[in-house]
Amino acid sequence: MNTRTPPAKRSAHRAAATVAEATRPDRRQAILLAAEKLFAQHGYHAVTIRQIAEEAGVPLALVGYYYGPKHELFHAIFEHWSHSIDERLAGLKAVHIDPADLRTLPRIIEAFTGPVLALRASAEGEYYALLVARELYHATEEADRVLRGYFDPLAEAYIDALHLAMPHATRGQVAWAYQFALGALLHHLNDSRIERLSHGENVRSDPAATPMLVNFIVGGLRAALPRPKAPPKKTTTPRRQKT
């Protein structure tokens, strides 16, 4: 009696196993996390799909099955973390903007920096924060697509808020100031030289340095942007004494 499984049946079993393997939700997440980590560590163009599959511990074909080509996988990372942008926008919306209130500007900057620094300090968001700091300011098609889709609307909202808080500056001046503030934030996220330069006193992207970073950005904005002109002092004519 022939007990061998017919080829057609074996093929069906393999196909069913492949489908079951592909539909495991942990595999999809593993691929995304592996890509996020490798892109953050080595840069988008230095990483291959094969390396991502090996890091995720999945068959190479599964990467394409879930995400398609590499640029779509890169985009999927930012879609996955889009809630962090929503949090920053919600934090900004909660700020009551009053140009006469000295607390307005620090509150805007705290809403701008706080969620990103919290991500950098967390186990689940560390590589995403590093990826943002490393990749988005390279002049590549992939980075520009992400910037336009996710980060330009965020930037516009914060520039608008800063302009309301400092109305005596032009929007162009405020846009420059926003870029300078962003540079300070991204450098803090990504820099490791501080440990060497401080002779071991400081730790890279230390959350304890957040108040100093906020004060640094706020001080820079106030120093760089025009401020309201002080009203002219009233002069009084001295009264003549009666003789």
In a domain? residue 197: yes
* 118 and 68 part of one domain: no
Number of domains the chain contains: 2
Q: What is the structure's pLDDT at 24?
A: 64
* 198 and 115 part of one domain: yes
Query: What amino acid occupies position 100?
Result: A
Q: Cα dihedral angle (44, 46, 52, 54), rounded to 10 degrees?
A: -170
In a domain? residue 173: yes
Q: What is the structure's pLDDT at 135?
A: 85
**What does the alpha-carbon distance between residue 133 and residue 127 come to, in Å, rounded to a whole number?**
10
Query: What amino acid occupies position 69?
Result: P
Q: What is the structure's pLDDT at 240?
A: 59
* 161 and 50 part of one domain: no
pLDDT > 50? residue 17: no
Question: What's the CATH code of the domain at 69?
Answer: 1.10.10.60
Phi, psi for residue 228 in degrees, rounded to 5 = -55, 140
pLDDT > 80? residue 10: no
pLDDT > 90? residue 78: yes
What is the tens place of the pLDDT at every residue in 84-141?
999 999 999 999 999 999 999 999 999 999 999 999 999 889 999 999 988 877 778 8
Q: Which domain holds residue 169?
A: 82-224
